[in-house]
Structure 1
Amino acid sequence: MPKLSIIIPCYFNEANIPVTTEALLLNEARFPSEVTFEYVLVDDGSGDGTVAALRAFQERQPGKVRIVELAGNVGSYNAIVAGMAHATGDCNVIITADMQDPPELMVAMYQYWQQGIKLVIGNRQDRQEDAITKLLARVFHGLMRRFALRNIPRGGFDYVFFDRQIREQIVQLQERNSNVFYLMTWLGHAYVNIPYVRSRREIGRSRWTLSKKVKLFLDSFLSFSFFPIRAISAVGISLGVIALLYGCYLVLLRLSGVQEPAGWTMLMVVLLFVSAFQMMALGIIGEYVWRSLDAARNRPLYVVKEVREPSNS
């Protein structure tokens, strides 16, 4: 009897929990009768009544709900790793608590898993969101495909169905400042991509702020690409060649007796440009160095405050 672990990170989702869990319970009827279900709900340091809503759901569904309450907010991706560490299913699925992803897609994902596919990706072909959000998402995933991971699907994804083996491999990695979904594709397992349209959020407001989106981009890009470092080297070499050629030009002018151009304005522009490039290069290198330092500290990705195990009563 295969067990499916449904992993849901929760952050300020008090109003979403009753609706989401009811939809997931109704979705169970679409699966074959031999499938059993386990819900792993991770509270990522919410400041509202999310934990109370999770406990109410656990009381209504004894024996199949595990609540992992984290001591503080560590970000949705670290919360997902915490959920994976406490999941026990033969197969797993990650879905958000805001009901923007269709639960019924899990059935097709499960069918692919039965065929031996270890990773099934629900790919956002389109999204019912504002134009700016769509544009930022398109640019983000386009850069990732072009300069980091060429094997990821277009449009982005955070709705995945995967085998226990992948779950164990991700938990074992314990990688910091990264993207848990891109890590799954980085492992190299063949995957199936199922496109869908992501719905608009109907309940509550998103806590996915611009600063969090920028951090996600930096974490994802720097974790899987050395392009920024190589770009610095390429620009540095180009500037060096230009400086060498200009130096040769000035030497030729001096040898020929021609007065060199004054060029005070040009000199200042070049100086400011090179200085700005150096500061930018130091910032990029600093991002890599900081990530190395953070990994060397070996601090835990999350701290568990309490785990409420399923009750058999």
Structure 2
Amino acid sequence: MPTLSVVVPCYFNEDNIPVTVQELIANEVRFPPEVAFEYIFVDDGSRDHTLQALLTAQAQYPDRIRVVELVGNVGSYNAIVAGMEQATGDCMAIITADMQDPPELMVQMYSHWQQGFKLVIGNRQDRQETGWTKRTAELFHWLMKHLALRNIPDGGFDFVFFDRQVRDDIVRMQERNSNIFYLMVWLGYSYVNIPYVRRKREIGKSRWTLQKKLKLFIDSLLSFSFFPIRVISVIGLLLGFAALLFGVYVIGLRIFAPQGPAGWTTLMVVVLFVSAFQMIALGIIGEYVWRGMDAARNRPLYVVKKVYETTTE
């Protein structure tokens, strides 16, 4: 009898939890009767009543729900790894607590897993959000597809269904400052892509701030692409060639027009431009160096405060 483990990261989701739990439980009837379920909810250092809401849900479904309480906020991706490490299922799914992703899609994902696919991706063909949120998300995934991982589906994704073998690979790697969903694709397993329309959030307010989005973009780009370093090299070569031409021009001017203008303004523009490029280049190199140092320290991705276990009769 296969067991499906559903990992749900939670951060300031106290109002979502009752609805999320009921939708997940109601979704079980769509699966074959031989499938068993466990739900691992990870409280990522929420400072509202998310933990209390999770414990209430666990009291209601003690045979299915496990609650993992982290000491502090470590980010949703690290929280997901914490949940994956606690999961015991033969296959697993990751879904957000705001229910913007349709849980009924997991039934189709499960059927693909039964056919032998280690990874099934639900990608956002479109989203009901509008304005700035939608545009920035589309830009992020377009850049990642063209600059880092060309084999990721269009539109982005964070709703996945995968085999325990993929779980073991991810947990063993303990990747820092990365994108766990792109990491699953990077592993190289053949995957099935199921497009869907992401719902508009109905309950609560998203904590996915612009600062977090920028960090995710930098982490994802630097984790899977050498593009920034290659850009530095190309610009450096172009600047070197331009400097050579300018040097020839200055020497020629000195020889053939010794009384010509000193060119102080031009010189200052060149110095400021090159200095700015050097600072940007050092910043990009510093990002890579810092990530290497962070990995070398080998600190844990998260610290579990307590695991509220499920019970079986």
Q: AA paired with 1:43?
A: D
Q: Verify: 1:150 aligned to 2:150, yes or no.
A: yes
CA contact (8 A) 1:74 1:302 kept: yes
- Greater Cα shift, 247-256 or 126-135: 247-256
Correspondence for 1:231: 231
CA contact (8 A) 1:122 1:157 kept: yes
> C-alpha deviations, 1:7-34, integer Å up to 9, x for none?
0000111110000110011100000000
> C-alpha deviations, 1:108-141, integer Å up to 9, x for none?
0000000001100000011111221111111111
TM-superposed CA distance for 1:270, in Å, is 1.2
Q: AA paired with 2:208?
A: W
Q: Distance in 2 between matches of 1:48 and 1:84?
A: 24
Q: Distance in 1 between matches of 2:261 and 2:25?
A: 79
Q: Distance in 2 between matches of 1:59 and 1:255?
A: 89
Correspondence for 1:283: 283
Q: Distance in 2 between matches of 1:29 and 1:168?
A: 28
CA contact (8 A) 1:123 1:196 kept: yes
Correspondence for 1:182: 182
Q: Distance in 1 between matches of 2:64 and 2:295?
A: 35
> C-alpha deviations, 1:63-121, integer Å up to 9, x for none?
22111110000000000000000000000000000010001000000000000011000
Q: Distance in 1 between matches of 2:263 and 2:102?
A: 64
- Greater Cα shift, 300-309 or 241-250: 241-250
Structure-1-length-normalised TM-score: 0.98
Correspondence for 1:42: 42
Q: Distance in 1 between matches of 2:52 and 2:141?
A: 36
Indicate the SS of the match to 2:188: coil
Number of residue pairs matched by the alignment: 313
- Greater Cα shift, 76-85 or 137-146: 137-146
Q: Distance in 2 between matches of 1:176 and 1:55?
A: 29
TM-superposed CA distance for 1:261, in Å, is 3.9
TM-superposed CA distance for 1:268, in Å, is 1.3
TM-superposed CA distance for 1:298, in Å, is 0.3
Q: AA paired with 1:262?
A: A
Indicate the SS of the match to 1:273: helix
CA gap of 1:88–1:185, structure 2 versus 1, over 3 A, is same
Alignment of 1:255-274 (within 5 A): 255-256=255-256, 259-274=259-274
TM-superposed CA distance for 1:57, in Å, is 1.1
- Greater Cα shift, 8-17 or 253-262: 253-262
TM-superposed CA distance for 1:258, in Å, is 5.1
Indicate the SS of the match to 2:154: coil
- Greater Cα shift, 186-195 or 62-71: 62-71
Q: AA paired with 1:81?
A: V
Indicate the SS of the match to 1:80: helix
Q: Distance in 2 between matches of 1:149 and 1:283?
A: 23
Q: Distance in 2 between matches of 1:158 and 1:194?
A: 12
TM-superposed CA distance for 1:259, in Å, is 4.2
Task: Give the ranges of 4+ consecutive aligned residues of structure 1 lying more than 6 Å apart after TM superposition.
Answer: none
Indicate the SS of the match to 2:157: coil
Structure 2 residue ranges without an equivalent (≥5): none
Q: Distance in 2 between matches of 1:134 and 1:17?
A: 25
TM-superposed CA distance for 1:262, in Å, is 2.5
Indicate the SS of the match to 2:196: strand
Correspondence for 1:117: 117
Q: Distance in 2 between matches of 1:286 and 1:260?
A: 42
Correspondence for 1:191: 191
Q: AA paired with 2:7?
A: I
CA contact (8 A) 1:250 1:260 kept: no
CA contact (8 A) 1:100 1:200 kept: yes
Structure 1 residue ranges without an equivalent (≥5): none
Q: Distance in 1 between matches of 2:123 and 2:72?
A: 30
Q: Verify: 1:56 aligned to 2:56, yes or no.
A: yes
Q: AA paired with 1:79?
A: A
> C-alpha deviations, 1:235-259, integer Å up to 9, x for none?
0110011101111222233344554
- Greater Cα shift, 257-266 or 203-212: 257-266
- The percentage of counterpart residues that share the same residue type is 70
CA contact (8 A) 1:17 1:97 kept: yes
Structure-2-length-normalised TM-score: 0.98
> C-alpha deviations, 1:283-303, integer Å up to 9, x for none?
111111111111111000000
Q: Distance in 2 between matches of 1:168 and 1:134?
A: 33
Correspondence for 1:128: 128
Q: Distance in 2 between matches of 1:205 and 1:127?
A: 17
